[in-house]
Amino acid sequence: MDKFKNLKLEDDVVTGKYNYYDGEVDVEFDLEEDDTEMDDFSELISDANNWIENLTQENLNELKTKIAKELTDSAYSDSDYKPTEKDYKDLENELTLTDVRFFPDQVISLVFKAKKEYPDMDIYCQIDNEFQVEDLFVE
């Protein structure tokens, strides 16, 4: 059964919604090709359905912990300040999942907001099928 709703093709990308534990998130499917039709996305959407079943609250919390640690350590890397457990926890608690983006070859990107620590910016976290962080950046 499809976990995603309101799927529509626009500008060679399929967008929609997914109801997650703490609210609704946007989903995006991008084959990184031109002149696509909705049928072209069936395999990617099917794979995403299977993957998202494994995106538990526990997996998401573990990811938030890793993201908060990596971003906080990076923010203070050129400083004499040593981050405390509270620094990590504050950012971890602030991280809110807003988007899940699916690409070919099992590339998955999660987009988070942290309005207090990173106002007007998105936190992009590319993960693998095992929920390990492959790439992380703020933009």
- What is the pTM for the complete model shown? 0.92
Structure tokens at 72: 């906080």
Parse the chain into domains and list their residue ranges: 4-138
Strands 96-103, 107-113: pairing is antiparallel
Tens-level pLDDT at each residue, the chain (139 residues): 568 999 999 999 999 999 987 689 999 999 999 999 999 999 999 999 999 988 999 999 999 999 999 999 999 999 999 999 999 999 999 999 999 999 999 899 999 999 999 999 999 999 988 899 999 999 9
Strands 23-30, 96-103: pairing is parallel
**Cβ neighbours of 23 (radius 10 Å):** 10
Is 15 in contact with 8 (CB distance < 8 Å)? yes
Is 127 in contact with 54 (CB distance < 8 Å)? no
Integer Cα distance of 14 and 7 in angstroms: 6
